[in-house]
Amino acid sequence: MALKARVLYDFSSENPGEISITESELVTLFSEEELDGWLEGENSRGEAGLFPASYVEVIRDHITSNTNNNGFSPCKTKALPPTQTSFTSSDSQSQRGGSGGGSFHTSQGSDDDWDDDWDDPSSPATSAAPQGLGSSPPLYPVTTSLPARRSGSQQHQHQQQQAKSSATVGRNLNRFSTFVKSGGEAFLLGEASAFVKDGDRICVVMGKHGPEWQEDPYPFTCTIDDPTKQTKFKGMKSYMSYGLTPTHTNIQVNRRYKHFDWLYARLVERFPVISVPRLPEKQATGRFEEDFISKRRKGLIWWMNHMTSHPVLARCDVFQHFLTCGADEKAWKMGKRKAERDDLVGANFFLTISPPAVPLDLQEVESKVEGFKSFTKRMDENTVVVNATINEFARKQITGFKKEYQKVGQSFKLLAQAFELDQQAYSVGLNRAISYTGETYEAIGEYFAEQPRQDLDPISDLLDLYRGHLDNFPDIVHVQKGALTKVKDCPKQDGDLHDRCNIISCATLAEIQHFHRTRVRDFRSQMQHHLRQQIGFFQKITAKLEDALQRYDDDE
Binding residues, by number, are 256, 258, 296
Contact between 401 and its own copies per CB under 8 A: yes
Q: Using CA atoms, how far apart are residues 25 and 11, in angstroms rounded to an integer? A: 11
Contact between 396 and its own copies per CB under 8 A: yes
**x/- map, 3-32, its own copies, by CB under 8 A:** ------------------------------
Closest to its own copies by CB, 196 or 408: 408
Q: Using CA atoms, how far apart are residues 416 and 418, in angstroms rounded to an integer? A: 5
Q: Which of 252, 400, 450, 496 binds its own copies (CB under 8 A)?
A: 400
Contact between 389 and its own copies per CB under 8 A: yes
Q: Which of 323, 434, 449, 484 binds its own copies (CB under 8 A)?
A: 434
Report which DSSP code applies to 18. Answer: B
Contact between 370 and its own copies per CB under 8 A: no
Q: Which of 182, 383, 480, 485 binds its own copies (CB under 8 A)?
A: 383
Q: Using CA atoms, how far apart are residues 165 and 154, in angstroms rounded to an integer? A: 9
Closest to its own copies by CB, 222 or 384: 384
Closest to its own copies by CB, 48 or 549: 549
Contact between 410 and its own copies per CB under 8 A: yes
Determine phi and psi for 137, rounding to 5 degrees.
-70, 155
Q: Using CA atoms, how far apart are residues 529 and 519, in angstroms rounded to an integer? A: 15
Q: What string of DSSP letters covers 240-256?
A: EEEEEEETTT---EEEE
Other C-beta atoms within 10 Å of 144: how many? 9
Radius of gyration over alpha carbons of the chain, in Å?
A: 28
Q: Which contiguous run of DSSP H or E holds residue 483?
A: helix 457-489
Three-state SS for 370-419 is HHHHHHHHHHHHHHHHHHHHHHHHHHHHHHHHHHHHHHHHHHHHHHHHHH
Q: Which of residues 414-433 bind its own copies (CB under 8 A)?
A: 414-415, 417-419, 421-427, 430, 433
Contact between 209 and its own copies per CB under 8 A: yes
CA 273 to chain centre: 13
382-401: string of b/e by CB count within 10 Å (b at 16+)?
ebbeebeebbeebeebbeeb
Closest to its own copies by CB, 4 or 529: 529
CA 276 to chain centre: 6
- Choose the stretch contacting its own copies; rule: CB under 8 A; options: 306-314, 340-348, 496-504, 521-529: 521-529
Q: Which of 215, 392, 450, 496 binds its own copies (CB under 8 A)?
A: 392
State the number of binding residues for its own copies (CB under 8 A). Answer: 63
Q: What string of DSSP letters covers 54-117?
A: GGEEE--SSGGGGGG-STT--TTSPPPPHHHHHHHS--HHHHHHHHTGGGS--TTS-GGGGGS-
Q: Which of 375, 432, 439, 460 binds its own copies (CB under 8 A)?
A: 375
Beta carbon of residue 505, minimum distance to its own copies (angstroms, whole number): 18
Closest to its own copies by CB, 109 or 207: 207
Other C-beta atoms within 10 Å of 213: how many? 25
Beta carbon of residue 51, minimum distance to its own copies (angstroms, whole number): 27
Q: In sequence order, which ranges of 271-361 are alpha helices (DSSP H)?
A: 290-308, 311-315, 317-324, 329-340
Closest to its own copies by CB, 70 or 367: 367
Q: Which of 287, 297, 432, 516 binds its own copies (CB under 8 A)?
A: 516
Which residue, 519, 268, 482, is CA-closest to 382? 519
Contact between 134 and its own copies per CB under 8 A: no
Closest to its own copies by CB, 219 or 371: 371
Closest to its own copies by CB, 95 or 389: 389
Kindly give the interhelix angle for 495-550 and 457-489, rounded to the nearest 10 degrees. Answer: 170
Binding site for its own copies (CB under 8 A): 209, 371-372, 374-375, 378-379, 381-383, 385-386, 389-390, 392-393, 396, 400-401, 404, 407-408, 410-412, 414-415, 417-419, 421-427, 430, 433-434, 437, 516-517, 519-520, 523-524, 527-528, 531-532, 534-535, 538-539, 541-542, 545-546, 548-549, 552, 556
